[in-house]
Amino acid sequence: MSKLRIDILTLFPEYFQGPFTVSIVKRAVTKKAVDLRLHQLRDWTDDKHHTTDDVPYGGGAGMVMKPEPLTKAFAAIKRGRKKVKTIFLSPQGKPFDHAMAQRLAKEKSLLLVCGHYEGLDERVMSQIDEEVSLGDYVLTGGEPAAAVMVDAMVRFLPGVVGDRDSVEKDSFFNGLLDYPHYTRPRSYRGQDVPEVLLNGNHAHIERWRRKESLRNTFLKRPDLLKKVSLTEGDKKLLVEIEKELQG
């Protein structure tokens, strides 16, 4: 039995044929860690043209998604289930991040609503539990955002990623960016793998990785350092890093 069910309400179910049939998402589906179901919003329209949008009252550019098909779709998709968290993919939503992916992956059932045009009729918003955005920019529709969210969430489901350690050491898992990684060959275009990674001393390796994780965060996302709890050892490493950068 699947641990997590994700329903996606969309005008373009075919969009997901690529993202959901390869890599980690495909593995999650195969292992039945996630039950992905796509729904065509037009199936809940009554007119011969299967209309899902109309012009906005008061005038203005763009179209607005009609309330009737959405309400009917929500009711049909949720029928017989006690709790389905309904999420509208919207540029006005909370920014999607690592913590949110981890939190949503613990839900039993999610309904992702892919918006288009100028958004949903406001009278439908009372049926939405949460608005989520990928960032401060506008997409042509919610489908890319839904694909990204599913990809990020399924990594946390049991049995999907074979090496749990790789998930737990991803960037953002502990609030910091990841450390640099190296593989063969040992020397490439005049650049060598750091000697500390070759000496077999695990304590030294862990210290180096922690320091480089802090360095990456300090250089690329210093804002994250204000949100994470740093140990006294971390603070000493940051002092070392700052001295090294100063020269």
Residues with catalytic roles = 91, 118, 155, 170
Contacts of 160-164 with C-beta under 8 Å, sequence gap 24+, read: 160/24, 160/27, 160/28, 160/31, 160/33, 160/34, 161/24
Partnered with residue 191 across adjacent β-strands are 188
Long-range contacts of 181-187 (CB under 8 A, 24+ apart): none
The span from the CA of 110 to the CA of 96, in Å, is: 15
The 10 Å Cβ neighbour count of residue 212 is 19
Write the DSSP symbol of residue 124.
G
Crossing angle of helices 23-30 and 143-154, in 10° steps, is 60
Q: Cα–Cα distance between 161 and 231 in angstroms, integer? A: 29
- Sequence length of the chain is 247
What is the rounded distance in angstroms from the CA atom of residue 239 to the CA atom of residue 218?
11
